[in-house]
Amino acid sequence: MSDNYYCKYCGASSSSVTNLTGGMCPRHPNGSHRGHHAPYQGGKKSTYTCQFCGTTSSGIQNLTAGVCQGHPNGANKGHHEPML
Ligand SMILES: [Zn+2]
Ligand SMILES: [Zn+2]
């Protein structure tokens, strides 16, 4: 078992929360590398759904790569974020 934890902003994976949150996140909502990875607290899914707009993807990394029409900071002002 490894890479059990995923960043909800960018999909980066790590075997421990400590390692994950120790890294800077390229898709952090405050700006690229303006904050740390944050662990996704939902379980592993075959499909991830954006909590803001409902866009779906098969992986967190793919989902968060796209900009979100329904982002709370404004349309296309941030990336999709998976709901739990
Ligand atoms: Zn991240
Ligand atoms: Zn979205």
Residues 44 and 31: their CA atoms lie apart, in Å, by 26
What is the model's pLDDT at position 2?
61
Q: Which ligand is nearest to the CA of 12?
A: 1
Residues 55 and 30: their CA atoms lie apart, in Å, by 21
Q: How far is the CA of 20 from the centre of ligand 2 (A)?
A: 23
User: Which residues fall inside 5 Å of ion ligand 1, going by CB?
Assistant: 7, 9-10, 12, 25, 37
CA distances from 29 to 26, 36, 47, 75, 82 (A): 9, 10, 22, 13, 13
Does the structure show a pLDDT above 70 at 1? no
Task: Give per-residue pLDDT as tens, 3-59.
Answer: 799 999 999 999 999 999 999 999 999 999 999 999 999 999 999 999 999 999 999
Q: How far is the CA of 11 from the centre of ligand 1 (A)?
A: 6
Q: Which ligand is nearest to the CA of 73?
A: 2
0.85 cut: is pTM over it?
Answer: yes
Does the structure show a pLDDT above 60 at 64? yes
